[in-house]
Amino acid sequence: MNWWAEPTLPAWWKGIFSGMPKKPQIALYWCSSCGGCEESVVDLAEDLSVVASKVDIVFWPVALDWKHEDLKAIADGQLAAVLINGAVRMGEQETMVRLLRKKSQLVFAHGACAHLGGVVGLANLFSRQDLLDRAYRQVPSVFNPQGVAPETTEVSSEEMLELSSFQDRVKPLDQVVEVDYYIPGCPPTPALIRNALMLLLENRLPPKGSVLADTKALCHTCPRIDSRPAVLRVERFKRLYEVQWDPDRCFLAQDIICLGPATRGGCEGRCISGNMPCRGCFGPTENVKDQGAKSVSLLASMLDGADEKTVKKAVATIPDLVGLLYRYSVASSILRGRLSGKT
């Protein structure tokens, strides 16, 4: 028998090589996003070390050097969970997201872009061609005499890299793969991320498909709720630059559009505390499909007058309806993007 044979070695020695007490493995990935969601993980601050002591983060392109091949090599379902932020626009993102879905038992849509399409989803109001023309030809600062634009045709030379395809539409994560849970927000608060990880580690996860935040509208937890009148009557909506707004009074009572009543709560009223009205990044409340459509009802309920002329005048004071009411949810709305009809 060789001297290194197993039975002669102490138990701790074995532990070093064959895996210490097994910690669940998780991964983090980003698609079309601004990096704010990654930042929200870092914002866990001291809690990050607590998290790191309970899970192994094996794949996190923004922080760890693990490659596509490494991910491919692990067993299917080996990861306990993956947090994916950003919407899906590029072909490569779609491939990676599908791969991560295969390797992970649970998929969390992390942040507004993965949840609803996010701000990047506003691109669905334009066609792919419009976007490319704008970015590569029309912008005044662009100098592009050869008309170079991204191509996905294979390039045979070894020095050239093949680009990922730029797809027709921006999609939230659940239009590409099955999503188990949603962590909403642009970005989610550290408290929500901590909560999601704790639910995972303690095996207390709610039914599949849940959004891990409040179920009711933001107003229920708004610090200014007491100053919200029961009936609102607005003749014309005001934009922030037009008024000196009161930092303690409900925005709606000041004729400033705030989407709090049509938006899921759970954000701790961060914008409100910063004296800015809600723009809806937590998405629709439970059982609402289309946040913007509900916001139409919200604004309609506030309009003063009972004749079409007065109402029309008030409506004219709302700028960029889709951009305002669907700022984070164009890609996940009922229509999902602009239809190609004339206007």
Partner 1 sequence: MCAMIEGLKPFEPNIIGFLCHWCSYEGADAAGRARLIHPANLKAVRVMCSGRVDPQFVLDAFQKGADGVLILGCHPGDCHYKEGNIMAMKRFAILKEMIRQWGIEQERLRLDWISAGEQEKFVRVVAEMTEQVRALGPLKRVDRTLASGRVGSAHR
Question: Contact residues for partner 1 (CB under 8 A)?
Answer: 115, 125, 127, 168-169, 171, 173-180, 182, 208-209, 211, 283-284, 286-290, 292-294, 296-297, 299-301, 303, 306-308, 311-312, 315, 318, 320-323, 325, 332-343
Q: Tell me whether residue 57 or residue 94 sits nearer to partner 1 (CB atom).
A: 94
Q: Tell me whether residue 60 or residue 181 sits nearer to partner 1 (CB atom).
A: 181
Q: Tell me whether residue 79 or residue 262 sits nearer to partner 1 (CB atom).
A: 262
For residues 170 and 89, the answer to whether their CB atoms sit within 8 Å is yes
Q: Tell me whether residue 58 or residue 267 sits nearer to partner 1 (CB atom).
A: 267
Compute the distance between CA of residue 291 and CA of residue 321 in angstroms, rounded to an integer.
Answer: 12
CB of 1 to partner 1, least distance (A): 55
CB of 278 to partner 1, least distance (A): 18
CB of 95 to partner 1, least distance (A): 15
CB of 286 to partner 1, least distance (A): 8
3-state secondary structure 236-248: CCECHHHCCCCCC
Token readout for 335 is: 């229509």
Compute the distance between CA of residue 83 and CA of residue 181 in angstroms, rounded to an integer.
Answer: 9
Token readout for 41 is: 């993980």
3-state secondary structure 289-306: CCHHHHHHHHHHHHECCC
Q: Tell me whether residue 74 or residue 125 sits nearer to partner 1 (CB atom).
A: 125
Neighbours of 134 (CB within 10 A): 12
Q: Tell me whether residue 38 or residue 180 sits nearer to partner 1 (CB atom).
A: 180
Residue 211 has what DSSP assignment?
B
Q: Mapping DSSP to helix (H, G, I), strand (E, B) and coil, where does residue 113 land?
A: helix
Q: Which amino acid is at 106?
A: L
Q: Tell me whether residue 234 or residue 272 sits nearer to partner 1 (CB atom).
A: 234
Q: Tell me whether residue 49 or residue 340 sits nearer to partner 1 (CB atom).
A: 340
Dump the DSSP string for 268-289: TTHHHHTT-----TT---TT-S
Q: Tell me whether residue 2 or residue 287 sits nearer to partner 1 (CB atom).
A: 287
76 CB-near residues (< 8 Å, 6+ apart): 102, 103
Cis peptide before 187 (omega within 30 of 0): yes
Q: Which residues pair with 181 in a beta bridge?
A: 108
Token look-up 């309609």 returns 300
For residues 144 and 65, the answer to whether their CB atoms sit within 8 Å is no
CB of 150 to partner 1, least distance (A): 20
CB of 177 to partner 1, least distance (A): 6
User: Which of 2, 179, 154, 224 minimizes the C-alpha distance to 83?
Assistant: 179
**Computed from CA positions of residues 254, 259, 264, 270, in that sequence, does the dihedral angle turn out positive or negative?**
negative
For residues 129 and 291, the answer to whether their CB atoms sit within 8 Å is no
CB of 255 to partner 1, least distance (A): 16
CB of 21 to partner 1, least distance (A): 32
CB of 267 to partner 1, least distance (A): 16
